Structure 1
Amino acid sequence: MQNEKDLFETIKDTYPQNPSKDFIVSTEMKLRQKARSMNRKGMIKRITAISSGALLFVATLSWLFFFSGQEVMTEVQSNIGNQPFASAVEEQDPEVFIYHSHNTESFIPELNETDPRKAFSDSKNVTLVGKEFSEKLKEHHINTILDDSDISKILEERGLSFKDSYVVSREKLQEALTEYESIKMVFDIHRDSQKRSDTTINIDGKDYAKIAFVVSTTSNNYDQNREFATRLHDKLEELYPGLSRGVFKKGENPQNTYNQHLQNNSVLLEIGGVENTLEETFRTTDVFAKIVKEVIEKEK
């Protein structure tokens, strides 16, 4: 009967040692998520020496080898409860919620349009900025919920006006917060109406869309949200001076808290302006995702 060492050598000879990067990252995250889940639920039990050896053996194989072929994949899936390999990050509890109260806000350079007042689109709009931000956060192993609901269409269907946008988007946020207690940060992403000179900065020869952090003064979470926005601003200024336009306080409409009363660490982001390009906003969200990762890790 083969021992573990002999079996390990047999498999080494059978399968090429060229695992894909995605498989390695996925496996690492699965193991880490499982460990966190076991610890959180208090289900960690004493493991015998034999079980420990078996688990280590399976983990080592997962890291070293990329199994190809339907037959092998079927066997592996049956060993993990017939569940197909899914995104490891998406198996984590979500920590960030991204949504767009004004989802049709767009950018002149992306449209056949010159009038800033008409920079709106049903498809090429600020939701693409949120999507890019979400994807970058996931690359940093931060599970994120992206709500790209067509708020504009819902308003039309209900016979509501543009000023009711936050009423509708609030419903989406409330649903997420009810379902996922793990959410730590909430970002409502917009684009500003300011001119390009106010919303753009050149860093190392490339143009970036600036970020403005907006906090409601009428929210009962104002102090916490202002501190959160300031922390993000300071970190951004430390690493990318000038990329942040600063933290802005708004409270002219007491009835509109930008939904920031629902959750601490909530902030409205103005990423770029009407004259920026999507590419410029993407550069910024890629950078900002790193900032968010640092802030989350510091809080753990």
Structure 2
Amino acid sequence: MRYAERLEKLATLMRVHGIENFLITRGPNLLYFAGIDGPAALVVSLKLERPVLFVPPLSLHAAEEYAYSGLEINNTGTNARFEVVVAETLSSLDGTLAVDDIDIDTYRLYSALLREREIRQGSSVIWELREVKDEEEIQAIRKACEVADRAMRAAYEVLYPGITENEVKAEVLAEIHRSGGERPAFDVIVASGPRSALPHGPLQRGGMRDRALARGDVVLIDLGAVVEGYHSDITRTFALGKVGEEFETAYRYVLAAKEAAEQYIKPDTHCSYPDSVARRKLEEARLDQHFMHSLGHGVGLEI
């Protein structure tokens, strides 16, 4: 990946926004700029010759092998808390300090360690870079989509009455790994019968039991794969045998809405417009009131 180019673009945006020092701790952002997703912290400063990657001892060898070679790697050791070591470097760097997303406890800790120094929220600067993918990122996403397609095909081939949702899910997970995926992009959803109406499937952690598929079921499968850190996400709906006319009508309108929206997935189009196109199409069948989800979401290092 083009880590040097990304860091240079970040430095340019830091100058534009009046940021002299940037502390990056979120896993996806670390992966984007440093090539590893933590536990670690990356300090990018206009005052330093190279960015500094702070890692605990357990992550040192992984960082030395996999992190971008243009970084200075700092082993924080075991004698002091990780954040204390990072703060010591930050305290030596004058000027404005921005951070990516950190929880309130971490913010308070750094604020105390840096003696109430002003800490700015800088996530929007990073999102400005990450939202536009380079060719290497696009290729990784395409590979992740190919793995997901194969996993969906594997799921389709085992759909028959009597198999359980968890058994279908197991086949999906196995195929993701067989096809070169690092892991699923999220918890795979297999929802059958009445459960297929739930936008994100049954909340099995909440006590809902596994369900066996039955003839006449509608089966919703939502899955994704991760390749080189990049995610894919696809959803398909299957009918296990004959289904009712009401479902077939709804299916046709949803398909038509998707195809209508696809015509407006192009540069210079606001994301809200394809969403509104899809909703207007669903209004024709009075289905818009059941469209609880947004039309889509970003893909990349996160879903």
Q: With structure 1 as the length reference, what TM-score do the two structures score?
A: 0.27
Between Structure 1 and Structure 2, the one with more helix by share is: 1
Q: Kindly indicate whether structure 1 or structure 2 has the higher relative contact order, using CA contacts under 8 Å at least 6 residues apart.
A: 1
